[in-house]
C-alpha cells in the first residue's frame, strides 16, 4: 500500500531542510501565493468549494462553504488552528515542524480569498518546537517580502502572528480558541449566535481552519480541481493524513487516499498488530469517536460517508489500535478521564457527567464495581447525550461533553460481558482489598 505524498512530499524528498525558506523556494514555494494574489475572492472561494476540500480539524465541514459564509463586515481575521490535542492525533505537529512554509503559503491564499489582512496561528503550548519553526518561517517570509505591508510587490498587506496556547484541549474548539486568543478563559461560546464566520475574533468575521486544511491550499491552486478530486474517492477528495498509534507494528502519520479499507490501513500500512496478536478494537477518528471492531468494520472503506453511516467518524484521522491484551474497561476509563480533565466546566452535564463516568469506571477497575454500575454508566451517558445515539445529541455548549460518551457507548455495545466480568470479579472479594480482585 503506497502512500500518496502531497503534503508530506517535500519533507520526504528533502528531510534535512524541508523546513527552510531556501528549500521551499527551490521546490516552487510561494508561487501559488503569487497566483492567488492575482485572483478575486469569488474565484478562490469557488475553486476551494469545487475542489471538495473538507476541513481536517474534526468537524468535517467544507472549507469553501465556510469561506463563502464569511460575513461582509471588515476587518476579517484568519486563524489557523494548531491546537492539536485530541488523543491519538499528531499529524499537525509533523506539518508544523517539517514544512511550516507550506502552511504559511496556504495562509496567504486563504487570506486573499477572505479579504483578510491579519492572521494568527494558534499553536498548543506543549508544541514549542513546532511553534519555533513556524515563527522562524514567518520571520523569513517577512524578510523575503511575502508578508507585511506589500506582499510580493502587489500592495496587499498581510500580517501573521504566532500565538501559543497554555495547556487546554478545549481551546481546539474554535470559539474557545477565539476567546483564548482574545486573552480570556478558553471557554466555548454558544453557537448560534457566535459562529466565527459572523461573530468571531473581537466579534468580527473570522475564518478558523485546521493546519492540514490550510496546508492543502497551495496544492489545490497549483494543480487544480481535477487533479485534487482525482486523488480522492468520490466526495472525499484529496489525500488524508492518518495518525496511527497503539498496538501496531509501525505507528506513524500516513498520507493516503480515501477509500482504502481498515484492514489495509491496519495490516498493510501500519504493519499489523504487535507480536502478531489479535486485533480487538480500534478508534477510527480520535478519542471522541465510537470504536470499531474487527467482526463488523474491518473491510469497510475509509471514507467520511461510510464511517459516518457506520456509527462513528473519521474526525481528525487518529486511529488508535487495541490488541487482544487490552482491558477494555481500562481503555474506556482512560478515554473518559481525558474528557473529565479537559471539560471547561461551563455545562453541568459535561462537568459532572464526565467526572461521574470516570469515577464509576475507576471503581470497576479498582475492584469496587457494583451490580448497578453498567446501568448507571448508561444513565449518566444519557444525561450528557440524550439517547446515547450517533451522531450524539448535544445538551451542552460544545461537543466535548457528548464526545466523552463515545467510549462508554462502545464499551457497553461491544464488550458488555467483559465489563460485567469486572463487576462479578470485584464482588467476590471484599472491596477494600485493592488489587486482590482475581
Ligand X SMILES: Cc1cc2nc3c(=O)[nH]c(=O)nc-3n(C[C@H](O)[C@H](O)[C@H](O)COP(=O)(O)O)c2cc1C
Measure the CA–CA gap between 410 and 408, rounded to whole angstroms.
5
Provide, rounded to whole angstroms, the least separation between the CB of residue 419 and ligand X.
26
Measure the CA–CA gap between 164 and 283, rounded to whole angstroms.
29
Provide, rounded to whole angstroms, the least separation between the CB of residue 396 and ligand SF4.
3
Q: Which does 184 bind (CB under 5 to 8 A by kind): ligand SF4, ligand X, another protein, none?
A: another protein
Measure the CA–CA gap between 354 and 342, rounded to whole angstroms.
10
* Cβ distance to another protein smaller for residue 85 or 303: 85
SS3 of the chain: helix, strand, coil, percent, to 5: 45, 15, 40
Stretch that binds ligand X, among 31-39, 82-90, 149-157, 254-262 (CB under 6 A): 82-90
Whole-Å CA distances, 176 to 171, 315, 412 = 5, 18, 31
Give me the numbers of helices (H) and strands (E) for the chain, helices first please: 18, 8
Q: Which does 139 bind (CB under 5 to 8 A by kind): ligand X, ligand SF4, another protein, none?
A: another protein
Query: Binders of another protein among 340-369, rule CB under 8 A?
Result: 341-342, 344
H or E, element range at 410: helix 400-414
* Cβ distance to ligand SF4 smaller for residue 172 or 369: 172
Query: Binders of ligand X among 385-404, rule CB under 6 A?
Result: 398-400
120 - beta bridge partners?
A: 79, 161
Query: Binders of ligand SF4 among 240-259, rule CB under 6 A?
Result: none
Query: Binders of ligand SF4 among 144-203, rule CB under 6 A?
Result: 170, 188
* Residue (of 207, 175, 184) closest to 396 by Cα position: 175
Residue nearest to ligand SF4 (CB): 350
Residue 437's Cβ-side half-sphere holds a number of Cα atoms within 13 Å equal to: 18
| Cell numbers linked to 38 | 492575482
Cis peptide before 267 (omega within 30 of 0): no
Measure the CA–CA gap between 350 and 341, rounded to whole angstroms.
11
Give the position of cell 524578510.
143
Question: Looking at 51, 114, 179, 210, which residue binds ligand X (CB under 6 A)?
Answer: 210
CB distance 21 to 28 below 8 Å: no
Does 335 contact another protein by CB under 8 A? yes
Does 287 contact another protein by CB under 8 A? yes
DSSP conformation class of 169: G
Stretch that binds another protein, among 231-239, 291-299, 300-308, 318-326 (CB under 8 A): 318-326
* Cβ distance to another protein smaller for residue 48 or 350: 350
Query: Binders of another protein among 156-215, rule CB under 8 A?
Result: 157, 159, 161, 163-169, 180-187, 202-204
Provide, rounded to whole angstroms, the least separation between the CB of residue 59 and ligand SF4.
14
Left (φ > 0), alpha (ψ -120 to 50) or beta: where does 369 sit?
beta
Stretch that binds another protein, among 46-54, 154-162, 230-238, 363-371 (CB under 8 A): 154-162
* Cβ distance to another protein smaller for residue 88 or 315: 88
Question: Looking at 209, 253, 343, 406, which residue binds ligand SF4 (CB under 6 A)?
Answer: 343
Measure the CA–CA gap between 14 and 102, rounded to whole angstroms.
14
Burial code (b: 16+ CB inside 10 Å, e: under 16) for 404-419 equals bbbbbbbbbebbeeeb
Does 414 contact another protein by CB under 8 A? no
Provide, rounded to whole angstroms, the least separation between the CB of residue 175 and ligand SF4.
9
Query: Binders of ligand X among 3-42, rule CB under 6 A?
Result: none
Provide, rounded to whole angstroms, the least separation between the CB of residue 352 and another protein.
19
Per DSSP (E only), the strands in 275-369 are: 279-283, 318-323
Question: Looking at 181, 361, 397, 407, which residue binds ligand SF4 (CB under 6 A)?
Answer: 397
Write out the residues near ligand X by the rule CB under 6 A.
Answer: 55-59, 61, 63, 81, 83-86, 170, 172-174, 208-210, 213, 398-400
Write out the residues near ligand SF4 by the rule CB under 6 A.
Answer: 170, 188, 343-347, 350-351, 396-398, 400-401
Amino acid at each position: 500500500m503506497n502512500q500518496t505524498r502531497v503534503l508530506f512530499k517535500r519533507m520526504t524528498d528533502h528531510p534535512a531542510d524541508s523546513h527552510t525558506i531556501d528549500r521551499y523556494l527551490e521546490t516552487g514555494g510561494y508561487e501559488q501565493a503569487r497566483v492567488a494574489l492575482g485572483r478575486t475572492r469569488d474565484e478562490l472561494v469557488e475553486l476551494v468549494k469545487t475542489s471538495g476540500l473538507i476541513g481536517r480539524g474534526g468537524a468535517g465541514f467544507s472549507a469553501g462553504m465556510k469561506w463563502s459564509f464569511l460575513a461582509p463586515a471588515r476587518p476579517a481575521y484568519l486563524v489557523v488552528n494548531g491546537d492539536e490535542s485530541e488523543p491519538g492525533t499528531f499529524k499537525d505537529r509533523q506539518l508544523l515542524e517539517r514544512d511550516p512554509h507550506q502552511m504559511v503559503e496556504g495562509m496567504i491564499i486563504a487570506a486573499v480569498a477572505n479579504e483578510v489582512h491579519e492572521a494568527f496561528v494558534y499553536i498548543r503550548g506543549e508544541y514549542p518546537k513546532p511553534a519555533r519553526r513556524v515563527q522562524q518561517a514567518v520571520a523569513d517570509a517577512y524578510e523575503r517580502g511575502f508578508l507585511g505591508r506589500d506582499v510580493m510587490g502587489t500592495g496587499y498587506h498581510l500580517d501573521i502572528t504566532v500565538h501559543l496556547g497554555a495547556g487546554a484541549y478545549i481551546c481546539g474548539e474554535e470559539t474557545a480558541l477565539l476567546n483564548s486568543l482574545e486573552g480570556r478563559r478558553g471557554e466555548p461560546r454558544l453557537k448560534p449566535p457566535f459562529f466565527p464566520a459572523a461573530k468571531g475574533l473581537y466579534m468580527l468575521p473570522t475564518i478558523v481552519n485546521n493546519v492540514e486544511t490550510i496546508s492543502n491550499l497551495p496544492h489545490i491552486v497549483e494543480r487544480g480541481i481535477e487533479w485534487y478530486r482525482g486523488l480522492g474517492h468520490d466526495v472525499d477528495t484529496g489525500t488524508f493524513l492518518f495518525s496511527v498509534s497503539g498496538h501496531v507494528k509501525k505507528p506513524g502519520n500516513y498520507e493516503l487516499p480515501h477509500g482504502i479499507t481498515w484492514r489495509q490501513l491496519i495490516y498493510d500500512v501500519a504493519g499489523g498488530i504487535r507480536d502478531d496478536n489479535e486485533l480487538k478494537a480500534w478508534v477510527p477518528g480520535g478519542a471522541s469517536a465510537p470504536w470499531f471492531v474487527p467482526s463488523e468494520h474491518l473491510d469497510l472503506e475509509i471514507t467520511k460517508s461510510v464511517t459516518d453511516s457506520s456509527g462513528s467518524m473519521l474526525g481528525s484521522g487518529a486511529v488508535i489500535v487495541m490488541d487482544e491484551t487490552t482491558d477494555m474497561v481500562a481503555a474506556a476509563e482512560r478515554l473518559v478521564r481525558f474528557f473529565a480533565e479537559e471539560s471547561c466546566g461551563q455545562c453541568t452535564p459535561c462537568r459532572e457527567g464526565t467526572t461521574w463516568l470516570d469515577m464509576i469506571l475507576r471503581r470497576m477497575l479498582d475492584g469496587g464495581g457494583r451490580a448497578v454500575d453498567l446501568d448507571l454508566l448508561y444513565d449518566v451517558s444519557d444525561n450528557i447525550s440524550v439517547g446515547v445515539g450517533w451522531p450524539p445529541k448535544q445538551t451542552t455548549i460544545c461537543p466535548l461533553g457528548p464526545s466523552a460518551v463515545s467510549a462508554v457507548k462502545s464499551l457497553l455495545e461491544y464488550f458488555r460481558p467483559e465489563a460485567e466480568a469486572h463487576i462479578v470479579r470485584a464482588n467476590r472479594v471484599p472491596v477494600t482489598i485493592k488489587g486482590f480482585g482475581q
